[in-house]
Amino acid sequence: MFSKLKFLFSYMHQYRWWYTGGILFLALTVWVSVTIPEFIQRSIDLIADGRAGNEADFNKNVLIIVGLALALILVRTFSRILIFIPARLIERQLKGEMFRKLSSFGKDYYDENLSGSIISRINNDINGLRLIAGFGILQIGNIIFSLSLTPYKMWQLSPALTLYCIVPMVVVFIIVRIGMAIMVKNTRLQMNTLQRLSGKTISFLSGNSVIKSYNIYDYAEREVQKENISLFGQTLKIAWIRSFVMPLLFNLGQILKIVVLFVGGMYVINGKFTIGELTGYIAYAALLSQPIMGLGWVLTIFQQGFVGISSIQTILERRGADEKRQALPDEIKANLFGDGIRVKNLNFTYHNGEKPELQAISFTIKPGQVVGITGKVGSGKTTLINCLNGYLRPEKGMVYFGDLDAADLRSEDIRSSVRTVSQEVFLFSDTIENNIAFGSEKAPTKNDFKEVIYKSSFADELARFPKKEKTLVGEKGIMLSGGQKQRISLARALYTPCDLLILDDVFSAVDTDTERFLIKQIFDNHPAKSLVVISNRISVLEKTDFTIVLEEGRMAAKGNHRELLEQSEFYRDILALQQES
Ligand SMILES: Nc1ncnc2c1ncn2[C@@H]1O[C@H](COP(=O)(O)OP(=O)(O)OP(=O)(O)O)[C@@H](O)[C@H]1O
């Protein structure tokens, strides 16, 4: 509880002058609200008195009431502006911090959490915190000022009647608290279900083509329906409680009016109260019901918001993958690949895996070399290159850039030298040009756009698009074929110079002519100091300085084309298969 409050105040503190102004205007709002009934009371007494000379006083009172009402509009508006704006600014700041933090997490975090549920959590949790920092603070101020001024004014008029009013207030408050507690519990369940539902919806939407091709609509529908039914049940429960608690809260003012009218009416009949005092008292009773209503809301907002704060804290306090690592000085970073890369007895087990996926792998890539990696499906090829490009983080003493242990380097620094074109192409919903230039803003030099398009064998196809490089690719590149997407991704990698270029099976979705062209461009005139190419095509592998053959995560063989023909059965098999076809 204390740590959550501390967390909240650390953000609110920056806007302390906004809040101070807001609270001052709030105090004024309450003061004006409780002053108006005094003038109403006096005016009614003047009417009841019925004397001819009362008119001037009566008119003066009415003018004062109108003036106070106008002042009330102003001060109330200012109090809300000064409290709600910092809450929105805190929301914006937190969303930015959460996004930066989430971008710094490694693969393990995203393996454990569905993206839909992360999005839903961020929205709900930060929303909860904003409600505390805005509406919650406003209500607390309102309650404190109203509950200290209004009962005081009521007590001055009649202590006994004030005690009569407190009884229904306490009863309503207890009922509302119980109702709110049940509501909060169900709201929490509802939020969890909503997270799961968004997670599933996003994954089904992105796997839409698989659902269509395998005709598994029923499965997708059942999965979504399951969450929908729980969500419906929880929402209904909340609606039931709300339909009981809310009328009680909203009608508390009416209940108090009945009590005041009944007991206060008796006082008027017995001459203890004037009719003006009774009217003033009724206005106070109405004013008093507002903070009591607010109290119910405040408790709910704080309970829900605190759940959100702990979830935000878990994300913000989690260490980013690179937080413990020191950034490299620019001159070292620029020459990171100067002596190549050395892999020494590399073993790697995924954080959620049971057995090592890579075992005892050792090799060195010198600047200028072209290295092939081949092996059966699931033999560890992608895992191996991800250990080189900083996406996966092997233990200390296994991968070195010159003398620097990769385990001590920031992923960002590694990626300034190592670029990967992965199997899973990701294109943004933007133009072809922007997709290629993506991430190049900070690069000191860029290659010629037209040359990059040519080298990626995309020039002819680009010329056929009516809008050329300004063509929009649609969500995740839906307007393009698999091969086109792969070549845009290759062009993106070639656009800014790098030292080590890794190509993960980029020839898989292209025809033989394109493959031949790409091989010529990349091998004869290769754009980086060194190349690592994952492929099972002999036409590619025969051009490398050496190729590593992986079998179940182990290095089964290593050598050039001629050596592998002697050493590796797998290599001979794929050659035979490709010669046949
Ligand atoms: N995120 C992960 N968590 C746990 N295990 C994983 C993860 N990614 C891959 N693996 C496992 O690691 C092994 C090697 O996978 P990897 O993707 O490196 O193989 P690959 O040789 O590149 O396969 P392919 O030819 O299909 O691309 C597989 O058994 C796979 O199940």
- Which of 110, 349, 350 most suits a substitution to test ligand 1, by most atoms within 8 Å of the C-beta? 350
CATH code of the domain containing 383: 3.40.50.300
Amino acid 190: pLDDT:
84
Are 124 and 23 found together in one domain? yes
Question: Which residue lies with its CA nearest to atom 26 of ligand 1?
Answer: 377
Q: What is the rounded end-to-end Cα distance, in angstroms, of the chain? A: 69
Distance in angstroms (rounded) separating the CA atoms of residues 203 and 285: 54
**Residue 451 counted as domain residue:** yes
**Residue 322 counted as domain residue:** no
Are 311 and 345 found together in one domain? no
Last residue of one domain, picked from the residues 317, 343, 362: 317
User: What does the pLDDT profile of the chain (581 residues) look like in tens digits?
Assistant: 778 888 888 999 999 999 999 999 999 998 998 889 888 888 888 887 777 677 888 889 899 999 999 999 999 999 999 999 999 999 999 999 998 888 888 777 887 777 777 887 788 888 888 999 999 999 899 888 888 888 888 888 888 888 888 888 888 878 877 887 788 788 778 878 887 888 788 888 877 777 877 778 888 888 899 999 999 998 898 888 888 877 877 777 788 888 888 888 888 888 888 888 888 888 888 777 777 777 777 877 887 788 788 888 888 888 877 777 777 777 877 777 778 899 999 899 988 778 888 998 898 888 888 899 998 888 899 999 999 888 888 888 899 988 888 888 888 888 888 888 887 777 787 788 888 887 777 767 777 788 888 888 877 777 887 777 777 766 666 667 777 788 888 888 888 878 888 888 877 767 777 777 777 777 776 667 788 989 888 888 888 889 999 999 898 888 888 888 888 888 888 888 877 76
| CB contact at 8 A, 571 and 565 | yes
Are 147 and 38 found together in one domain? yes
**Residue 378 counted as domain residue:** yes
Q: Does ligand 1 have an atom closer than 6 angstroms to the CB of 378? A: yes
Amino acid 178: pLDDT:
84
Are 309 and 335 found together in one domain? no
CATH code of the domain containing 44: 1.20.1560.10
Query: Taking the CB of residue 407, how many other CB atoms lie within 10 A of it?
Result: 14
Q: Residue 467 class from Cβ within 10 Å (0-12 exposed, 13-18 middle, 19+ buried)?
A: exposed
**Residue 324 counted as domain residue:** no
Residue 358, CA atoms < 13 Å, CB-side half-sphere? 27
Are 262 and 363 found together in one domain? no
Q: Which residues contact 176 (CB under 8 A, 6 or more apart)?
A: 245, 248, 249, 296
Q: Does ligand 1 have an atom closer than 6 angstroms to the CB of 380? A: yes
Are 353 and 313 found together in one domain? no
CA of 179 to the centre of ligand 1 (A): 51
Amino acid 436: pLDDT:
82
| CB contact at 8 A, 299 and 132 | no
Which of 185, 417, 444, 434 is closest to 300 using CA atoms? Answer: 185
**Residue 325 counted as domain residue:** no
How many whole angstroms from its chain centre is CA 295?
A: 30
Last residue of one domain, picked from the residues 317, 341, 372: 317
Are 296 and 236 found together in one domain? yes
Amino acid 530: pLDDT:
85
| CB contact at 8 A, 494 and 448 | no
Q: Does ligand 1 have an atom closer than 6 angstroms to the CB of 357? A: yes
Q: Residue 552: give the domain boundaries.
A: 330-580
Q: Does ligand 1 have an atom closer than 6 angstroms to the CB of 111? A: yes
Are 166 and 284 found together in one domain? yes
Q: Does ligand 1 have an atom closer than 6 angstroms to the CB of 277? A: no
Question: Which residue lies with its CA nearest to atom 28 of ligand 1?
Answer: 378
ipTM of the complex: 0.96
**Residue 323 counted as domain residue:** no
Are 235 and 377 found together in one domain? no
Q: Does ligand 1 have an atom closer than 6 angstroms to the CB of 112? A: no
User: What letter does residue 470 receive in the DSSP assignment?
Assistant: G
Angle, CA 438 vertex, CA 437 and CA 440 arms, to 5°: 70
CA–CA distances in Å: residue 502 to residues 25, 352, 399 = 62, 25, 16
Q: Does ligand 1 have an atom closer than 6 angstroms to the CB of 79? A: no
CA of 165 to the centre of ligand 1 (A): 70
Are 249 and 200 found together in one domain? yes
Structural domains in the chain (count): 2
Helix (H) or strand (E) holding 530: strand 530-534
Are 276 and 404 found together in one domain? no
**Residue 385 counted as domain residue:** yes
Last residue of one domain, picked from the residues 289, 317, 345: 317
The token pair that represents 137 in the structure block:
């603070």
CA–CA distances in Å: residue 63 to residues 66, 284, 369, 448 = 5, 20, 91, 76
**Residue 503 counted as domain residue:** yes
Q: Does ligand 1 have an atom closer than 6 angstroms to the CB of 31? A: no
Are 15 and 139 found together in one domain? yes
Give the SS3 label for residue 549.
Answer: strand
